Structure 1
Amino acid sequence: MARVVCVHGIGQQHTGERELHGSWHPALSDGLIRAEARFALDASDVQCVFYGDLFRPPGRTLTFNDPPLDASDVADGFETELLLAWWHEAARTDETVLAPDARTLARTPHAVQRALNSLSRSRFFAGIALRGLVLDLRQVRAYLCDPDLRAAVQQRVADVVTDRTRIVVGHSLGSVVAYEALCAHLEWPVRALLTLGSPLGIRNLVFDRLHTGGGDKSGNWPGAVEQWTNLADEGDVVALVKDLRPLFGERVRCQMVHNGARAHDATRYLNTAEAGRAVADACEAG
């Protein structure tokens, strides 16, 4: 019966709802302190929707949890286009990343391999193995292109949201999941949506594929929520489009935050005063 429902993003297939709660609840609590909120969140006030296991093939262990993927495993179409979009954005925000049209990259014959090589050297993707990048691409494509998987993820959200829920928080791909869930359930008493490091503004790949429940018109307001806050870090490559207002309307409150070296980190978004204020505004009324 949580007041705050949180939806994680990509790359969480080897965690779980309790593990995520263990980091998200303290970060949310710190955000409320930064915002000088008049209340604190008990552990029971926060619940994390978990769907990462839907991306995890059966029979794999936690020790060797990723297959040996390489550039040849990046599929043409959606996965390649998203990878190249990440490369363009990484080059724009990180001076150590050579731009896709740089002459120094002409000696590498394959665009996908060049993109993976460049991103592996960027600050944003530091510490992420090449196979991890490929798997992240696959998860985004799977959610947006596989109707059965999409329905299963959406059911996980519906199983958690109750009459007591006042705000849904979505990070990364979870912001897409949260947005679609709210569009599909006008009856939910959710007052607010908080999106963090969101790819919702990426036209063609994400925005144009959204299911909104209202004739599938991308850009619909998310259900019955009264307030939508979107936070982005300038260096967050996943949040390619920082300002969602041109696509979703002027009602979206778009704010920039500074997360340091871990621009896309969920907890760094959650412990900001901006996130705390969004949660406080949704919960303080009841």
Structure 2
Amino acid sequence: MPARVVFVHGIGGPRDPAGELEQWSTALAAGMSAAGHADQAERLMAGTPGSRAFAYYGDLFTAPGAQGDGAWSPTGEEADILAGLLGDVVASLVEENDAETDPDRRRAERRVLEHARAQLAEGTQAQGSGQILRKALDVATTLLALRPWRSVGTWVAPKLMVRELAQVARYLARGEDQAGGGSLDERIRARVLDAIGDGPSLVVAHSLGSVVAMEALHEHAGEVPLFVTLGSPISTRAAVWPRLRPHPPAAPACVGNWLNFWDRDDLIAVRPRLERDVVPNAAGVVPESRRVDSDGVWVHPAQKYLAQPALAGPVAAALRDSAAEAP
């Protein structure tokens, strides 16, 4: 049977899975057409039921770590991971600031970044999770004064920014049991594996979803001719990479090809060249990182990546090859 396309989302608030499936598919189809694969774009959008899937797990983050008012009450390890993630974001912003060609903007933004670094460094000894959370909110408040967030309102408030980044911490802490059995991270991976199913699949995963999908595929026995990651934080040193399973992280055995796409202006994709930090599988597959350049100030959204011909073209080719091989 031809491979199905499975999308795996990243951080964020509640989603409409059916609506997201159409939006992601439409963006990918536009990229396919721009890459000269209009036939595959048409096939993608007119596919039979089940030929496309959106692996949704965002609702799992509403249980039980959230209090009645929606606030997040972190464990110690979750708070530590969040602090490390914010540190990596600040370090990425400092690197971007170093390359800024406008001297006035560089000086103004550097002052803000130095303040954020000082906030992260304050009272680093023997801090409780509540103190780290308050520090994270302070750092988020500082960062929201910078581009791109100031320009586009990606996160309208520090609490929203911290709550969404905290999803990475909650997944990687792996200690949050949920009603119905299993830890949060186990139930998230189960959702992804259920969407992938038994047949061959092309898995396209964004942001935190790339971490989830990589780990889930180590539990998958089916065929994945192509694994595509977008804006991935897998190589983020302080927060993500040390906590991945297996460790050191490796290409899943079921993956026949792994393409990783990153945008120079994507502040979430810290250390974007994953091949430096991922062990090959038995077939020698490692991530192949390819840079794309999107328009606009905030380039992290999945749809911006999916509409890139450089990304959509290989997915179209993999779909064509899968259809040709199908009995």
Asked if Structure 1 and Structure 2 have the same fold, meaning a TM-score greater than 0.5 normalized by the shorter chain, the answer is yes
Distance 1:278 1:99, change over 3 A: farther
Distance in structure 2 (CA, Å) of the matches to 1:162 and 1:107: 45
Number of residues paired by the alignment? 273
1:195 aligns with 2:195: no
Query: Partner of 1:98 in structure 2?
Result: 110
**1:205 CA displacement:** 1.9
Query: Partner of 1:174 in structure 2?
Result: 209
Gap runs ≥5 in structure 2: 98-105, 123-134, 176-182, 280-284, 323-327
What is the aligned-residue identity percentage?
31
One-letter code aligned to 1:36 = G
Query: Partner of 1:280 in structure 2?
Result: 316
Distance in structure 1 (CA, Å) of the matches to 2:316 and 2:147: 32
1:262 aligns with 2:274: no
**1:39 CA displacement:** 1.6
Deviations 1:207-237 (A, max 9, x none): 22112xxxx2323112221111111111111
- The CA RMSD measured in Å over matched residues stands at 3.1
Query: Partner of 2:131 in structure 1?
Result: none
Deviates more, 1:107-116 or 1:262-271: 107-116
Distance in structure 2 (CA, Å) of the matches to 1:108 and 1:157: 34
**1:123 CA displacement:** 2.2
Distance 1:91 1:163, change over 3 A: same
**1:74 CA displacement:** 11
Deviates more, 1:236-245 or 1:105-114: 105-114
Q: Structure 1-normalised TM-score?
A: 0.84
Distance in structure 2 (CA, Å) of the matches to 1:107 and 1:282: 47
**1:278 CA displacement:** 2.7
Tell me the secondary structure at the aligned position of residue 22 of structure 2: helix
One-letter code aligned to 2:143 = L
Deviations 1:179-231 (A, max 9, x none): 1111221x2111111000000011242122112xxxx2323112221111111
Distance in structure 2 (CA, Å) of the matches to 1:181 and 1:22: 24
**1:246 CA displacement:** 1.0
The structure 2 residue matched to 1:46, chosen from 49, 52, 58, is 52
**1:124 CA displacement:** 3.2
**Is the 1:124–1:236 contact (alpha carbons within 8 Å) kept by the matching residues of 2?**
no
Query: Partner of 1:79 in structure 2?
Result: 82
Distance 1:101 1:23, change over 3 A: closer
Distance in structure 2 (CA, Å) of the matches to 1:99 and 1:2: 50
Q: Structure 2-normalised TM-score?
A: 0.74
Distance in structure 1 (CA, Å) of the matches to 2:115 and 2:16: 44
Tell me the secondary structure at the aligned position of residue 258 of structure 2: strand
Deviations 1:130-169 (A, max 9, x none): 1111102321111111250011001101111134443101
**1:84 CA displacement:** 1.7
**Is the 1:171–1:266 contact (alpha carbons within 8 Å) kept by the matching residues of 2?**
yes
Distance 1:75 1:203, change over 3 A: closer
Distance in structure 1 (CA, Å) of the matches to 2:120 and 2:254: 50
Query: Partner of 1:207 in structure 2?
Result: 241
**Is the 1:66–1:131 contact (alpha carbons within 8 Å) kept by the matching residues of 2?**
no
Distance in structure 2 (CA, Å) of the matches to 1:196 and 1:48: 15
Gap runs ≥5 in structure 1: none
Tell me the secondary structure at the aligned position of residue 143 of structure 1: helix
Distance 1:105 1:121, change over 3 A: same
The structure 1 residue matched to 2:167, chosen from 119, 123, 139, is 139
